[in-house]
Amino acid sequence: MSAALHLTLCEAAEAIAQGRITSEALVTQAIERVEALNPKLNAFVDLESDEALEQARKLDREQVAGRSRGPLHGVPLAHKDMYYRAGKVSGCGSSIRRDFVASTTSPLLERLEAAGAVNLGRLHMAEFAMGPTGHNAHLGRCCNPWDLDRISGGSSSGSGAAVAARLVFGALGSDTGGSIRLPAAMCGIVGLKPTQGLLATDGMMGLSESLDCPGPLARSSRDIARLMDIMSGGSHEAALASPVTGMVLGIPRTFYWEDLAPSVANRLERARRVMEDAGLEIIDVDIPDHSALADLADLVWTPEAAALHLPWLRERPHDYGAQVRARLIQGLAISATAYLRARQLRTLALEAMLSGPLARCDALFVPAIRRSVPSAAETDTGSNPNMREVLASITALTRPLSYLGLPGLVTPAGFDEQGLPVAMQLIGRPREEAALLRIAHAFEERTGFLHEAPSV
């Protein structure tokens, strides 16, 4: 693999800006790697080589003329196949929308490309963003680049796999219950679910109007900070220069740290020591009872999804994969009273977190998943009766945060005995993504996990 593809997003942008590599050369190398690896990974559903190369050449001409589009000038990205681009197909991982051509463009894509990003194509996702594993009845499974027999995580499966495998330098995903954080955790990269409502959901496929949340995946927290600056107009990257000394991390006494696999607990204990050495103060905190939050989240997103899909459920039920159809039908069975009560309890649960543990610390430090990355075989449940339990076990530590609407960041915390990624998760206060990025950046600077690449 080309050394240039090992660069982070920020390093690649700097290399182009300094003339050490052209956008055309970098895009060409990325395309060649996609063509070589995608038959194994199934991360891309559409590689737009000709258009990407044409755009890269245009950006190189602008560079020679002394013009720069911005902090992503010439860097190749690709995005989950649910972000609309006017005049282009957006299949949403489905059979129903296989030929859907969007009439509008996502403002997030517009901002990234106005800053100079080159789009390489559309990435694999779970059907209609319903699935945390990377399985898709229509597209086949997206594989984990660390072990092709393991799941990539989902529903932003292609985003996680493509960034980890050095096919692109960053990608957009979406997170309704963990769909950015799970593929980031399982593929050994960084993923951020921003505060609910911080980034625009216009121009992207909807699943749950209350919980949908777009966000970035990349290979470092600095990369994530740059992408967030462009999409939100914030100053996340500049905040990384501030030391973390004196910041307070809270470790919940209950729920998150229960029933961890020994390998996960061991790596996270090492991560804790690294953060203490960086100057963070770590305290134990009590959190409100989280045991019902995942079920409450289901009472919100499943009826909202079912309402969106009701015309197709009536007219084209057999065009859904069995698992997705089963989950939508579950949403139809939820009463209006249960749905509204779950929405009301969400406000109370958030207030309890903000006045309780998050009033005492800058962020919470918790695992992303409780066990090693699962195999594809053990999670391929279809619509079997145990489907819900299997999926719930994977999203157990990510869905509560989506219900609360808080920001959450996942970054690698090492590798288990099988060489599979282990991740930590940071939970912050609303609109304090910069604090999470500062902590994660300080951790990443003191460890070498981000420099490890899968050998696929």
Whether 324 contacts 331, CB under 8 Å: no
The Cα–Cα gap between 37 and 43 comes to 9
**Catalytic residue among 80, 174, 193, 372, which?**
80
CB neighbours of 301 closer than 8 A, spacing ≥ 6? 176, 177, 207, 208, 210, 211, 331
* Paired tokens of 354: 């903000």
* Number of residues assigned to the chain: 456
Q: Which of 131, 105, 74 is CA-nearest to residue 320?
A: 131
Round to whole Å and give the CA distance between 299 and 295: 6
**Calculated CA dihedral for residues 54, 58, 60, 62, nearest 10 degrees:** -170
Annotation marks residue 159 as catalytic? no
Instruction: Indicate if 179 belongs to the active site.
Output: yes
CB atoms within 10 A of CB 233: 8
* Burial of residue 73, with CB atoms counted within 10 A of its CB: 0-12 exposed, 13-18 middle, 19 or more buried: buried
Q: How buried is residue 231: exposed, middle or buried, by Cβ count under 10 Å (0-12/13-18/19+)?
A: buried
* DSSP type of residue 27: H
Considering the candidates 23, 106, 155, 159, report the single residue annotated as catalytic.
Answer: 155
Alpha-carbon gap, residue 32 to 30, rounded angstroms: 5
Bond into 152 cis (ω within 30): no
CA–CA dist 161, 151 (Å, integer): 10
Closest CA to 165 of 154, 152, 149, 182: 152
Selected catalytic residue, list 94, 152, 179, 208: 179
Name 216's bridge partners: 172
Alpha-helical regions (H) of 233-320: 236-239, 262-277, 293-315
State how far the Cα of 143 lies from the Cα of 134, in Å rounded to an integer. 7
80 given a catalytic annotation: yes
The set of catalytic residues is: 80, 155, 179
